[in-house]
Amino acid sequence: MNRPDASLGACEAARAIREGALTSEELIEACLARVRAAEPRVQAWSFMDEAHALAQARAADEYKRSGRSIGPLHGVPVGVKDIIDTADMPTENGSVLHAGRTPRADASVVSMLRAAGAVILGKTVTTEFATYSPGKTRNPHDPEHTPGGSSSGSAAAVAAGMVPLALGSQTNGSVIRPASFCGVYGFKPTHGLIPRSGVLPLSRTLDQVGVFARTLEDVALLAEQLVGYDEKDPDTKPRARIPFCAIAAEEPPVEPLIAFVKTPQWQRADAETKEAFAELVDALGERVQEVELFPSATEAWDWHKTIMEAEMAFNLDAEWRRGRDGLSKSLRAQIERGREVRAVDYQQALARIPLLQDGFEELLVMHYDAILTPCAPGTAPKGLDSTGDPSFCTLWTLCGLPSLSLPLMRGSNGLPLGAQLVGRRNFDGRLLRTARWLVGRVGAGV
């Protein structure tokens, strides 16, 4: 393979490296060249040490030359959101309060990536503490527009072709929304599948690690490396490795049936989005049915807010006590609201989650293979003061359901518009399979 291209997918790159057609060093060189070209405009990275990235690549090549067996991501670069600890790079959590912070240990997911052979290319920009106050990143499709957040840099770096894979996280809409705005695949697996130790804790109930890639195959390849039990994350369970790549590649045994769910947020969607979804539903024909949610789902947004703010107030207590002048006004207000939440209301909100999950379990076991719904009210809004509206992601995050952002459409402004596909809890592989069927049926539009 001559002239490796930074836009090479992860599956292709891993295969080429495995077969000796490409070295990791060549691939990383190509990615770094692309970073040099695009970064001034996109600003996706909070930390990048070219020499260190190349040293990892050369070590990977050396290792392979020694003849030892290599992992599924051997030599392949991954960008890591800067709320995920890395022992060899700073992790600043998007806050001046953590400037210069260098963790002593890798997060579990980073250890898993290294065990799979990956090269950690650098750290990608996050909003302030993975909440709403934006970082420096711009939308690669139009730098006057937000890339979305909080996993802004991960989505933008993958979209800009700087790296084939990146890790992000979602507590409300922080994977699905930026993936939609940047026109890449975003995947937030079932809560509890991917361990979070070493990832900035905001909300034990809501925090979930997610991934970005430019193809569904690459999503499956990356996610497959990250599932596991971690005794330091009490929400993970001992379980067998899930063969995401194999399941995603299967043909569905029967044509999937999709539930189109507008959610109580539908009035927030702009006219163009409503029209795009009408067309998408039309294209799917008899394989999609519009479904109205059970009434209790309408309260999910309040419960999510209670839980997120109460848990953030707990997790950011030291920052609030010692450094509240270094917090954005909006985050300070969130924490202050969170500090006032009563334990009874917090417990009541938590207790609703299994009831909602039961409702979706019935919908997704008895009737439908997946739920189709918007990722956001529209394409990436203009301006860099906000990362956009997460409300189309809230319900699925609260329930810990696996969800995907599929880059299927474009707005009249030329910016990408994703479609969100939500699956049954712990059936993430099937969601990827259904997504591949859907993309094949309607065609990727971006």
Q: Residues in the site for a second copy, rule: CB under 8 A? A: 237-238, 310-311, 313-314, 317, 338-348, 351
Sign of CA dihedral 233, 346, 176, 333: negative
What is the edge-to-edge ordering of all strands in the sheet holding 258-260?
Answer: 45-47, 119-124, 77-81, 165-170, 208-213, 185-188, 403-410, 416-422, 370-374, 258-260, 288-290
Pairing of strands 258-260, 288-290: parallel
Task: Say whether 56 sits in a helix, a strand or coil.
Answer: helix
Angle between helices 216-224 and 10-19 (to 10 degrees): 70
Report the residue number, 76 or 206, with the smaller CB distance to a second copy: 206
Q: Indicate which residue of 174, 197, 391, 403 is catalytic.
A: 174
CB of 342 to a second copy, least distance (A): 6
**Amino acid at site 107:** A
Most distant CA atoms of the chain, gap in Å:
63
CA distance 87 to 96: 19
Indicate the residue among 298 and 348 with the shorter CB distance to a second copy. Answer: 348
Contact predicate 191/400, CB 8 Å: yes
CB 171 within 8 A of CB 225: no
State the minimum distance, in angstroms, from the CB of residue 355 to a second copy: 13
* Shortest Cβ 239–a second copy spacing (Å): 10
**Burial degree of 238 (CB within 10 A; 0-12, 13-18, 19+):** exposed
> Toward a second copy, which CB reaches closer, 238 or 295?
238
Closest distance of CB 232 from a second copy, Å:
10
On the 0-12 / 13-18 / 19+ scale of CB atoms within 10 A, 274 is middle
- What CA–CA distance (Å, rounded) separates 163 from 165? 6
Q: Which two tokens stand for residue 78?
A: 């991954």
Nearer of residues 255 and 317 to a second copy, judged by Cβ: 317
Q: H-helix or E-strand containing 331?
A: helix 329-340
Contact 205, 353 (CB under 8 A): yes
Cβ contacts of 29 within 8 Å, gap of 6 or more: 4, 54, 57
- Give 427-446 as a DSSP string: -HHHHHHHHHHHHHHH----
Rounded-to-10 torsion of CA 122, 128, 134, 137: -10
Residue 305 known to be catalytic: no
Catalytic pick from 24, 108, 111, 150? Answer: 150
Q: Which of 81, 123, 188, 305 is catalytic?
A: 81
Q: How far apart are the first and last CA of the chain?
A: 27
Give CA–CA dist 73/151, Å, rounded: 22
Catalytic residue positions, numbered: 81, 150, 174
